[in-house]
Amino acid sequence: SQQGEEDPQALSIQEGENATMNCSYKTSINNLQWYRQNSGRGLVHLILIRSNEREKHSGRLRVTLDTSKKSSSLLITASRAADTASYFCATDALGGYNKLIFGAGTRLAVHP
Amino acid sequence: KAGVTQTPRYLIKTRGQQVTLSCSPISGHRSVSWYQQTPGQGLQFLFEYFSETQRNKGNFPGRFSGRQFSNSRSEMNVSTLELGDSALYLCASSMEGGETQYFGPGTRLLVL
């Protein structure tokens, strides 16, 4: 069963707008990662945030982590049509030996 | 560095048959994990191998098995295929002690 829940399930915005996706999880974690998937292809790693970090930036991406609420958010600023994809959060549980637990994902559509 | 490669990319089988999928990790990566992605269940962890040893296993029936070779390449096998095994099978590799998993393009299996 999946640990994470993501919302919204789908998001439709215009180019230039910001997109925010949220993720919740259930157990204690080592880290939380965000991945992007284009049209049922492989997953592309976007960013990793460790359990002792609260915020991390990478280019147009900003990730926050609140371990007390067991939740994370991914913000994509100034969205582009090329950002259209599904976004998944994945948690690496304590003692998990690289066992990632994925959320259901958010489908993002960015319209020109 | 070459990324994770998976073969074959597409496969069509009939119920009752068996199938073997192959994954070559990024050079130097010794951990290989396998995931199944379906529209209904999302991304689910199958198993993880490190140095030819299975360290972790997900909640899948015994029909799903895997192995890892001394060069870190991995195979997974599904015996007695069922219609519900139709899915995108993804493998990911990571460095020893590494936190980030790098995914291959996947093998899309269709069971008729």
Among A35, A43, A51, which would you mutate to test the B interface (most chain B Cβ atoms within 10 Å of its Cβ)? A43
Q: Is the peptide bond before B61 cis (omega within 30 degrees of 0)?
A: no
Residue contacts between A and B (CB atoms, under 8 Å)? 71
Contacts of B104 in chain A (CB under 8 A): 42
Name the 3-class secondary structure at B85: helix
pLDDT tens by residue, A11-27: 999 999 999 999 999 88
Contacts of B60 in chain A (CB under 8 A): none
Round to whole Å and give the CA distance between B69 and B51: 8
| pLDDT per residue rounded down to tens, chain B (112 residues) | 789 999 999 999 999 999 999 999 999 999 999 999 999 899 999 999 999 999 999 999 999 999 999 999 999 999 999 999 999 999 999 998 778 999 999 999 999 9
Cα of B47 to nearest chain A Cα, Å: 8
Round to whole Å and give the CA distance between A25 and B57: 20
Round to whole Å and give the CA distance between B95 and B33: 12
Whether A67 and chain B come into contact, CB under 8 Å, resolves to no
CA distances from B17 to A21, A111, B20, B35, B80 (A): 41, 43, 10, 20, 5
Q: Inter-chain contact A43–B92, Cβ cutoff 8 Å? A: yes
Beta-carbon neighbour count of residue B53 at 10 Å?
Answer: 9
Cα of A24 to nearest chain B Cα, Å: 16
Residue A61 has pLDDT above 60, yes or no: yes
Is A36:A87 a contact under the CB 8 Å cutoff? Answer: yes
pLDDT tens by residue, A62-85: 999 999 999 999 999 999 999 999
Give A19: exposed, middle or buried? Use CB within 10 Å, 0-12, 13-18, 19+.
buried
